[in-house]
């Protein structure tokens, strides 16, 4: 009888522990910065990742899936299910970022061993999203660090999808018409402007956006980066290898006009992940309605802030403008221990 009480008590504590964790569903186009964000989340003790869905973007969908499996293997977290998703945007041609991330998306490291794609879950990413949030209604936070194609497909299949999500955190878009891919377009939104438009006009759950300009304004010093990747751990060694190409690319651009982002370390996707993990990370926001330009010759893919409320939209998003960079440093350091 005593043993049964102990077992029952242990089960209750186990359930309460699981309930206290933040449940995340992470959608990535896994390049180097996605890897940094994923490792940050994997190391967070208050987080449970229910699944990782993969999308075209920084590299091909096959490479993105391999990269995620590689990261999970590095972190000894291969139990987390990984799902392959959209291989191309809803319209238009594929865009990749091989100059920065390498052709394979993880820096083209010569001796990097990639797991077999046989380890992937057979369920399509969009269907997995719908199933996972339905199994945990109102509890799952979605973090999207790539093009929003999978989310657009999911909401088109089930318009109630956004109502089942606790909150949505996006790395993408811009707030000052400054692009990092086109003159006015941020890379993730430019990869699939239609998907970004659908998500920002269909999702009515609490939505938080970490824009390109925000990440640049809150960059970390190169001195921190050096300290971060020279930790004496397996994870730091892994990060040092995969980030070498992007570090070299960034520093080559230093001094060029319009390249302010090269003056520091900008782990773009980690800002959105940190915001999802720690509510105190964000210190200021703009609360307004947004949309995405689809037809402009120079502005296609640009996120539009409706500060004058001319769009008459009831749903407003939280555009992050300031954050606690010391908290980000702490989370990043913990990720590589």
Q: What is the pLDDT of residue 260?
A: 60
* Residue bearing tokens 């555009």: 319
Beta strand 303-306 with 282-292 is: antiparallel
pLDDT of residue 81: 98
Give the pairing type, strands 22-28 and 140-144: parallel
Instruction: List per-residue pLDDT tens for the chain, 337 residues long.
Output: 554 544 444 444 444 444 589 999 999 999 999 999 999 999 999 999 999 999 999 999 999 999 999 999 999 999 999 999 999 999 999 999 988 999 999 999 998 889 999 999 999 999 999 999 999 999 999 999 999 999 999 999 999 999 999 999 999 999 998 889 999 999 999 999 999 999 999 999 999 999 999 999 999 999 999 999 999 999 999 999 999 999 988 887 765 444 566 789 999 999 999 999 999 999 999 999 999 999 988 999 999 999 999 999 999 999 999 999 999 999 999 999 9
Sorted by where each begins, the domain ranges of the chain are: 22-335
Please pick, among 27, 29, 34, 192, the residue that the annotation labels catalytic.
29
Are 86 and 117 contacting, i.e. CB atoms less than 8 angstroms apart? no
Q: Minimal CA–CA distance to 44: which of 29, 61, 60, 23?
A: 23
99 is catalytic: no
251 vs 311: CA distance, rounded Å: 41
C-beta of residue 140 within 8 angstroms of C-beta of residue 102? no
- pTM of the predicted protein model: 0.92
Q: What pLDDT is recorded for position 255? A: 52
pLDDT at residue 16, as a whole number: 44
pLDDT of residue 5: 46
Contact 170, 272 (CB under 8 A): yes
Residue 178 pLDDT: 86
CATH of 22-335, one of 3.40.1160.10, 3.90.245.10, 3.40.50.2300, 3.40.640.10: 3.90.245.10
């Amino acid at each position: 009888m005593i043993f049964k009480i102990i077992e029952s008590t242990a089960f209750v504590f186990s359930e309460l522990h699981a309930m206290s964790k933040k449940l995340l569903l992470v959608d990535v186009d896994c390049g180097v910065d996605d890897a940094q964000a994923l490792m940050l989340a994997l190391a967070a003790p208050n987080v449970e990742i229910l699944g990782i869905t993969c999308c075209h973007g920084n590299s091909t969908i096959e490479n993105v899936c391999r990269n995620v499996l590689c990261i999970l293997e590095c972190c000894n977290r291969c139990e987390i299910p990984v799902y392959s998703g959209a291989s191309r945007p809803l319209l238009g041609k594929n865009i990749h970022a091989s100059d920065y991330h390498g052709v394979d998306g993880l820096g083209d490291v010569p001796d990097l061993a990639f797991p077999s794609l046989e380890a992937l879950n057979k369920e399509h990413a969009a269907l997995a999203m719908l199933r996972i949030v339905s199994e945990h209604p109102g509890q799952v936070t979605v973090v999207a660090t790539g093009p929003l194609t999978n989310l657009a497909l999911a909401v088109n299949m089930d318009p109630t999808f956004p109502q089942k999500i606790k909150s949505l955190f996006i790395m993408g878009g811009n707030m000052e018409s400054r692009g990092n891919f086109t003159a006015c377009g941020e890379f993730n939104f430019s990869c699939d402007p239609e998907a970004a438009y659908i998500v920002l006009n269909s999702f009515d759950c609490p939505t938080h956006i970490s824009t390109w300009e925000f990440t640049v304004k809150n960059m970390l010093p190169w001195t921190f980066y050096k300290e971060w990747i020279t930790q004496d751990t397996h994870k730091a060694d892994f990060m040092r290898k995969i980030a070498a190409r992007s570090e070299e690319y960034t520093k080559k651009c230093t001094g060029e006009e319009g390249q302010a982002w090269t003056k520091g370390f900008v782990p773009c996707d980690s800002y959105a992940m940190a915001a999802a993990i720690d509510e105190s990370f964000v210190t200021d926001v703009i609360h307004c309605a947004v949309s995405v330009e689809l037809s402009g010759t120079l502005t296609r893919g640009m996120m539009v802030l409706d500060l004058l409320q001319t769009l008459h939209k009831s749903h407003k998003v939280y555009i992050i403008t300031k954050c606690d960079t010391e908290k980000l440093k702490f989370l990043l350091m913990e990720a590589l221990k």
